[in-house]
């Protein structure tokens, strides 16, 4: 039975999830949102298929780690006779010929560290979401796995017959597998892999050296930054919510969705995390993707989520050949939330775009033109701010007037007022300010409960973690009494064993069983903004303790068992970690002074 104790390798074109034994369980090819040629993470009608691994005879111990400050994974397997095998997995990524080289390829290098361990290599891809077993052809140095719509080529210096027959052999020299597109590779696999590995390690470490990281929790922040980078599609700039589909939010629930899309809701917070890290190029590409995806047509129609490449369908359907994570189906392709009304998208877009007007590093060439495009979004925000929607939690069976959505519409108007001033449209700035002021008054009047805390919905008391974000977006100052009371309600009604639930009402599927990890980070941030830093640090440390062995987080955690659930790795969880760590950490000067 698979768990989420997984590591991820990738190069911002593709990614693969690998378990603690070094088995590739989830590899979408040739893009982050494509058909998983390794799909064993979600089971299937073909037993013991959809993966790649190395089986070492009489294995007794396995250790695993990332090479420091990289996305290169090392797995060491020891057998009972003292034999040791080192497996290095990575996806090539570096500058070559003046441009970024990141082919849709994973590289596996298998090396003997002690004695001559005996092993076999198993390659068992599937196509069409587990429905089709490939036909196979081969040459002197490669094997081709042929599906109905694509072909996966494995180039290797392992004898082809060993790969085809999964034959056991003694490992007495390093061996390499290059898994990717159906293109001939004329170079020697061993020397090519060594060159790719050296360049990839150097590239990741150069990128990490350019990050602005806090003094405390450096390892956790660096790993989160690399993971966030791995969730990005560098060609378009999009960042997917997670690399998987249909990992359920809790055991035996229908709450399982496809997260291989880019959500506007996450954009503002993702930009904030990247900005804090100084990851300027990733931030700029992402902002431009968000703006271009929405504003590419004159007739602005905003949906909650976008595919990482134009023209890819977001329509939801079921993959019948996959049984689901631990047999908990269905497995979904696409996400029906694309057709929902979610009014917070207007604020998400404008708050993301606002960075372009204020960050001199980004070099906005036509600020007035972009402002004129954003005006249409602002008008939509003003029109729909206090109308019912599915809300940030994407309810599928009801709509209400959501406080967070209304507040994000306020943020759209407030930021447009600032942008209008910056581009010289002072009269329009005054209009936006007036509209924002009126909307803020209505939000606070209808969302404040008789007991003085902020409800997640208008006109009735709903404990909802999104209320913690109202100071973050500027609707209220952190020291407002309503914020303090909201923090107390959150602790009393939503906190369970150190983790914050999204809400405590029943939804379309009953009462939530797991805590949405980013909500716990929101609580940490709200405490810190309110000056309760010691309490915030304690909760933050507790959240860090549920990271898996590779330092990664999924979407959810079961508070009592502390097991991870939900799609993996979850970009929003790692964004939350970065936000909280940079907010809570002691400064470098202060910390170095204390150390001396």
Please give the residue range of the domain that contains residue 80.
9-208
- Looking at the structure, tell me whether residues 156 and 168 fall in a common domain: yes
- Of 208, 238, 262, the one marking the end of a domain is 208
Residue 262 forms part of a structural domain: yes
180 with 241, same domain: the answer is: no
Across all residues in the chain, what is the average pLDDT? 95
Give domain status of residue 3, yes or no.
Answer: no
In CATH, what number is assigned to the domain containing residue 348?
Answer: 1.50.10.10
Q: For 325-337, what is the mean pLDDT?
A: 95
Q: Would 154 be classed as within a structural domain?
A: yes
pLDDT digits (tens, 9 = 90+) for 88-110: 999 999 999 888 999 999 999 99
* Final residue belonging to a domain, choices 193, 208, 223: 208
Identify whether residues 230 and 150 lie together within a single domain.
no
537-to-212, 216, 540 alpha-carbon distances in Å: 20, 11, 5
Q: Which pLDDT score is estimated for 397?
A: 75
83: pLDDT strictly greater than 60? yes
Residues 459 and 314 in one domain: yes
Q: Average pLDDT for residues 533-550, to the nearest whole number?
A: 98
Let me know whether 425 and 354 are in one domain: yes
Residue that is last in its domain, among 208, 238, 257: 208
Q: Is it the case that residue 510 has pLDDT exceeding 80?
A: no
Indicate if the pLDDT at residue 332 is higher than 90. Answer: yes
**Residue 7: is its pLDDT beyond 90?**
yes
Cβ neighbour number for residue 172 with a 10 Å cutoff: 10
Give the confidence band of 594 by pLDDT, cuts at 50, 70, 90: low
Bridge partners for 178 per DSSP: 107, 155
1 is a domain residue: no
Say if 130 falls within a structural domain.
Answer: yes
Q: What percent of the chain has pLDDT over 90?
A: 90
Residues 172 and 221 in one domain: no
Residues 331 and 477 in one domain: yes
User: What is the per-residue pLDDT for 58?
Assistant: 97
pLDDT of residue 297: 64
- Same-domain pairing of 178 and 252: no
Domain count, the chain: 2
**Which candidate, 355, 361, 333, places its Cα nearest to that of 257?**
333
Could you tell me if residue 318 is inside a domain?
Answer: yes
Mean pLDDT of 402-431: 97
What does the pLDDT read at residue 45?
A: 79
Cβ contacts of residue 102 below 8 Å, gap of 6+?
Answer: 11, 12, 13, 91, 92, 93, 234
Give yes or no: residues 420 and 280 share one domain.
yes
Contact in structure between 489 and 463 (CB atoms under 8 Å): yes
Q: Which of 17-31, 226-240, 580-594 has the lowest mean pLDDT?
A: 580-594
The predicted structure's pLDDT at residue 593 = 65
Specify the range with the lowest mean pLDDT, choosing from 442-446, 473-477, 502-506, 566-570. Answer: 502-506
Task: Kindly state whether residue 359 falls inside one of the protein's structural domains.
Answer: yes
Query: Are 459 and 534 in the same domain?
Result: yes
Summarize pLDDT for 106-164 with one digit per residue, the tens.
Answer: 999 999 999 999 999 999 999 999 999 999 999 999 999 999 999 999 999 999 999 99
User: Do 259 and 283 belong to one domain?
Assistant: yes
Q: Is residue 4 one of the residues assigned to a domain?
A: no
Residues 397 and 323 in one domain: yes
Single out the residue of 146, 126, 127 nearest to residue 138, CA to CA.
146
Q: In which element (H, E) is residue 82 found? A: none
pLDDT value of position 237 = 94
Instruction: List Cα–Cα distances, 327 to 34, 40, 247, 513, in angstroms.
Output: 22, 11, 10, 19
Quickly state the pLDDT bin for 295 (edges 50, 70, 90).
confident
pLDDT in tens, 182-235: 999 999 999 999 999 999 999 999 999 999 999 999 999 999 999 999 999 999
Cα–Cα distance measured from residue 567 to residue 257, given in angstroms and rounded to the nearest whole number:
8
């Amino acid at each position: 039975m698979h768990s989420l104790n997984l590591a991820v390798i990738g190069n911002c074109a593709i990614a693969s999830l690998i378990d603690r034994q070094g088995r590739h369980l989830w590899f979408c090819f040739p893009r982050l949102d494509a058909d998983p040629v390794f799909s064993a993470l979600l089971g299937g009608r073909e037993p013991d298929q959809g993966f790649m691994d190395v089986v070492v005879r009489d294995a007794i111990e396995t250790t695993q780690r990332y090479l420091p400050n990289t996305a290169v994974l090392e797995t060491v397997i020891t057998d009972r006779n003292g034999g040791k095998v080192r497996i290095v997995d990575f996806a090539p990524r570096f500058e070559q010929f003046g441009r970024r080289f990141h082919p849709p390829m994973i590289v596996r290098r298998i090396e003997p560290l002690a004695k001559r361990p005996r092993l076999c290599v198993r390659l068992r891809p599937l196509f069409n979401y587990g429905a089709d077993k490939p036909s196979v052809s081969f040459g002197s140095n490669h094997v081709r796995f042929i599906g109905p719509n694509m072909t996966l080529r494995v180039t290797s210096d392992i004898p082809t017959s060993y790969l085809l027959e999964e034959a056991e052999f003694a490992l007495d020299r390093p061996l390499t597998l290059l898994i990717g597109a159906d293109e001939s590779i004329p170079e020697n696999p061993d020397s090519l892999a060594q060159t790719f590995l050296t360049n990839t390690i150097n590239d990741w470490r150069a990128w990490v050296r350019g990050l602005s990281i806090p003094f405390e929790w450096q390892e956790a922040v660096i790993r989160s930054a690399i993971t966030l980078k791995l969730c990005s599609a560098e060609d378009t700039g999009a960042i997917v919510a997670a690399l998987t589909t249909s990992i359920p939010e809790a055991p035996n629930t229908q709450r399982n969705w496809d997260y291989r899309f880019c959500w506007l809701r996450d954009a503002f917070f993702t930009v904030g995390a990247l900005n804090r890290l100084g990851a300027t190029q990733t931030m700029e590409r992402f902002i431009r993707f968000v703006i271009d995806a929405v504003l590419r047509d004159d007739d602005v129609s905003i949906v909650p989520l976008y595919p990482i490449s134009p023209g890819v369908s977001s329509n939801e359907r079921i993959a019948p050949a996959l049984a689901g994570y631990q047999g908990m189906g269905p497995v979904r392709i696409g996400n029906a939330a694309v057709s929902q009304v979610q009014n917070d998208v207007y604020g998400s877009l404008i708050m993301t775009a606002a960075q372009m007007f204020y960050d001199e590093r980004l070099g906005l060439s036509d600020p007035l033109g972009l402002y004129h495009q954003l005006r249409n979004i602002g008008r939509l925000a003003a029109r729909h701010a206090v109308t019912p929607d599915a809300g940030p939690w994407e309810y599928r069976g009801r709509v209400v007037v959501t406080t967070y959505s209304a507040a994000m519409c306020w943020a759209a108007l407030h930021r447009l007022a600032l942008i209008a001033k910056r581009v010289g449209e002072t009269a329009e700035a005054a209009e936006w300010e007036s509209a924002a002021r009126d909307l803020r008054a209505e939000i606070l009047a209808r969302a404040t409960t008789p007991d003085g805390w902020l409800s997640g919905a208008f006109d009735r008391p709903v404990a909802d973690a999104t209320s913690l974000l109202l100071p973050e977006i500027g609707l209220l100052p952190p020291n407002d009494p309503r914020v303090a009371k909201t923090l107390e309600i959150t602790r009393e009604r939503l906190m369970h064993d150190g983790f914050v639930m999204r809400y405590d009402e029943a939804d379309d599927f009953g009462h939530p069983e797991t805590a949405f990890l980013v909500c716990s980070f929101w609580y940490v941030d709200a405490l810190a903004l309110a000056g309760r830093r010691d309490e915030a640090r304690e909760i933050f440390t507790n959240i860090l303790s549920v990271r898996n062995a590779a330092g990664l987080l999924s979407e959810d955690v079961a508070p009592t068992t502390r097991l991870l659930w939900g799609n993996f790795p979850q970009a929003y969880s790692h964004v939350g970690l970065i936000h909280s760590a940079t907010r809570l950490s002691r400064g470098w000067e202060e910390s170095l002074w204390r150390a001396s």
